[in-house]
Amino acid sequence: MIEALRRLGRIGLGFFERLGRGHLFLLSVLGGLPGLFLRPRLVVQQVYSTGVLSLLIIVVSGLFVGMVLGLQGYNTLVDFGAEESLGVMVALSLVRELGPVVAALLFAGRAGSALTAEIGLMKATEQLSGMEMMAVDPVHRVVAPRFVGGFLAMPLLAAIFSAVGVMGGYFVGVGLLGVDDGAFWSQMQAKVDLHDDIANGVIKSVVFGFVVTWIAVFEGYDAEPTSEGVSRATTRTVVHASLAVLGLDFVLTALMFGD
Amino acid sequence: MPKQTRKTTKKHEKDDDVLVRIRGLRFARGDRWIFDGVDLDIPRGKVTAIMGPSGTGKTTLLRLIGGQLRPDAGSIQVDGLEVPKLSRRELYALRKRLGMLFQSGALLTDLSVYDNVAFPLREHTDLPESMIRNLVLMKLQAVGLRGARHLMPSQLSGGMARRVALARAIALDPMMIMYDEPFTGQDPISMGVLVQLIRLLNDALSLTSIIVSHDVQETAAIADYIYVISGGKVIEHGPPREIMHSSSPWVRQFMQGLPDGPVPFHFPAQPYLDDLLAEGEA
Ligand SMILES: Nc1ncnc2c1ncn2[C@@H]1O[C@H](COP(=O)(O)OP(=O)(O)O)[C@@H](O)[C@H]1O
Ligand SMILES: [Mg+2]
């Protein structure tokens, strides 16, 4: 009984200790941002590599999610004779929810885990220590550009996901199921609001990008410098980042659309 | 000739011929003392070896000198600067004048050999690319790898990786280089190359070198002075010839590589017979 309590206490302490370290780490990463303005090439490189890394999976998943939305939406809407609204339904689902959330989950699995593994391996092979001894701060030189790169890539990927998803919905709804072409687009244009829908979706993906890359770079930097340590950190990144995305999505949705 | 302008805390200690002075160093990992009162002097311009069995804290000592770890007590002075007391900025300024060769080489795996050597130059200087190119080729030429500049670190053998790391370590013309186990896992030829390079570079560039190692023969062959540490203390120091014929049985066992002696062959255990007779647990 006492032992169980003690274990609970230790787990709790460990959790808060890591949380604290994570925040301190974030502060030092943010301290590296001014330096990046002088060397934007470092960031561009990272946007490119994380973006390209995730692009294929984002496009393919976006297409299928859009096609499924088209099918499911049509089956429901047609009962009410409202299949012309398919475009609105597909677009809203994607822009408000599925785009940011699914893209962030995929991003965590693909780019987030790769970031953690890359930084963790650099630590395990003493590359980060080596940089420190060359008087180069690895948090500023290695972590900060990756953090900013991931943070910028995420909204772009979510936008691509939504756009491809709409094409998928169009392909199924208009191409296969015979929804009217003009109605599909014009209703979408009329009902999707720039501020309420698109802006909120973008805010979501920005927040998710921030959190996922933060978790990924922290786990990598904090990993135990052995191969098991790195592999555990990679797993933790995917699990924690996915949970964080889903939890935050609820909070953000409640704040944005819940009144 | 020492620069007159640089501000130092203790002038007289900067002008002497000791580059690194360690006094009463104590450092603990968990509740174990890795160093328990270590005094060391690293003379300028010489190759000094620090030897001892694996796990005695040789790497730890280099990290303490480089300011990556802070001692629990004692003083570590490098070129008259008290390392544990330096601010971050001062520490980074000092590190630009130190080179360190990690056990693994620690090359940046996503950069080519050329870019690895250019890395410190690009980070710390505003030299034009043409000048950087000349410097990089010079440093690579010094370690004999100018022809390997387009290779990636994963394409290098262990010995080549260490030589590239050496070229990178001398890129900023440091005053001192610290080598962590430079000979471990090298074939005889790369071993010979490294032994020669360390001595040659030390003398040609008037560096100060610290070699941390447990490879007795190679180290004794190039070191001017040897410290042997074990159990958190310096147990012997002197020129190689004296160390080889030390009066301490422990040092003799270590230097001559005898399997049994003051350091027992067996890990501490309960008596053999009791263990065989005991049943059940492994
Ligand atoms: N990060 C660390 N955390 C805890 N203990 C460590 C750490 N690094 C090294 N040690 C311990 O410190 C001791 C000295 O390590 P090290 O300096 O690497 O020895 P050496 O280089 O002489 O083989 C070892 O017993 C090792 O287990
Ligand atoms: Mg070591």
pLDDT at A38: 82
pLDDT at B281: 65
Q: Return the amino acid letter for B88.
A: R
Tens digit of pLDDT for each residue in A80-92?
888 888 889 999 9
- Nearest CB partner across the interface for B92, out of A122, A125, A135: A135
Flag whether pLDDT at B1 surpasses 60: no
Cβ pair A126:B98 closer than 8 A: no
Compute the average pLDDT of residues A37-61.
89
- Using alpha carbons, select from A119, A138, A157 the residue that is nearest to residue B68: A138
Tens digit of pLDDT for each residue in A178-190?
888 888 898 888 8
Nearest CA distance, B23 vs chain A (angstrom): 22
User: Where does the pLDDT of residue B264 fall: very low under 50, low under 70, confident under 90, or very high at 90 and above?
Assistant: low
Cβ pair B95:A133 closer than 8 A: yes
* Inter-axis angle of helices A200-222 and A99-107, nearest 10: 10
**Residue B227 and residue B51 in contact, taking contact as beta carbons nearer than 8 Å:** yes
Residue A130: C-alpha distances to residues A39, B103, B214, B225 (Å): 21, 10, 22, 26
The 10 Å CB-count burial string (b at 16+, else e) for A182-216 is ebbeebbeeebeeeebbebbbebbbbbbbbbbbbb
- Nearest residue on chain A to B123, judged by CA atoms? A136
Cβ pair B98:A141 closer than 8 A: no
Compute the average pLDDT of residues B11-28.
78
**Residue A103 and residue A58 in contact, taking contact as beta carbons nearer than 8 Å:** yes
Between CA A23 and CA B29 the distance in angstroms is: 25
* pLDDT: which is higher, B251 or B13: B251
DSSP character at residue B38: E
Return the number of other C-beta atoms located less than 10 Å from residue B101's C-beta: 27
pLDDT at A191: 86
pLDDT at B211: 93
Flag whether pLDDT at B12 surpasses 60: no
Q: How many Cα atoms within 13 Å fall on the side-chain side of residue B97?
A: 12
Is the CB of B62 within 6 Å of ligand 1?
Answer: no
Residue among B97, B119, B164, B176 with most chain A CBs within 10 A, to mutate: B119
Compute the average pLDDT of residues B140-148.
88
Flag whether pLDDT at B7 surpasses 70: no
Flag whether pLDDT at B246 surpasses 80: no
3-state helix, strand, coil in chain B (%, to 5): 40, 25, 40
In whole angstroms, what separates CA B53 from the centre of its chain? Answer: 14
Between CA B225 and CA B223 the distance in angstroms is: 5
Q: CB-based contacts of B112: which residues, under 8 Å, 6+ apart?
A: B149, B150, B151, B152
Compute the average pLDDT of residues B58-82.
91
Which residues between 163 and 192 in chain B have a beta carbon less than 8 angstroms from any beta carbon of chain A? Answer: 165, 168
- Using alpha carbons, select from B213, B259, B221 the residue that is nearest to residue B240: B221
Q: What is the pTM of this model?
A: 0.84
pLDDT at B95: 92
A130 contacts on B by Cβ (under 8 Å):
100, 102, 106-108, 165
pLDDT at B10: 46
Return the number of other C-beta atoms located less than 10 Å from residue B224's C-beta: 15
Across chain B, mean pLDDT equals 85
B102 contacts on A by Cβ (under 8 Å):
126, 129-130, 133
Contact status of B154 with chain A (Cβ, < 8 Å): no
Is the CB of B6 within 6 Å of ligand 1?
Answer: no
Cβ pair A125:B106 closer than 8 A: yes
- Three-class SS state of B98: strand
Q: Which two tokens stand for residue B260?
A: 């049994």
**Residue A85 and residue A186 in contact, taking contact as beta carbons nearer than 8 Å:** no
A134 contacts on B by Cβ (under 8 Å):
95-96, 119-120, 123, 168
- Using alpha carbons, select from A241, A257, A243 the residue that is nearest to residue A203: A257
Among A23-32, B54-63, B182-191, B250-259, whose mean pLDDT is lowest?
Answer: B250-259
Q: CB-based contacts of A223: which residues, under 8 Å, 6+ apart?
A: A116, A119, A120, A123, A124, A229, A230, A232, A233
Q: CB-based contacts of A90: which residues, under 8 Å, 6+ apart?
A: A66, A69, A70, A73, A165, A166, A169, A170, A173, A188
Q: Return the amino acid letter for B242.
A: E
pLDDT at B9: 46
B108 contacts on A by Cβ (under 8 Å):
122, 127, 130-131
Between CA A62 and CA A168 the distance in angstroms is: 8
pLDDT at B15: 56
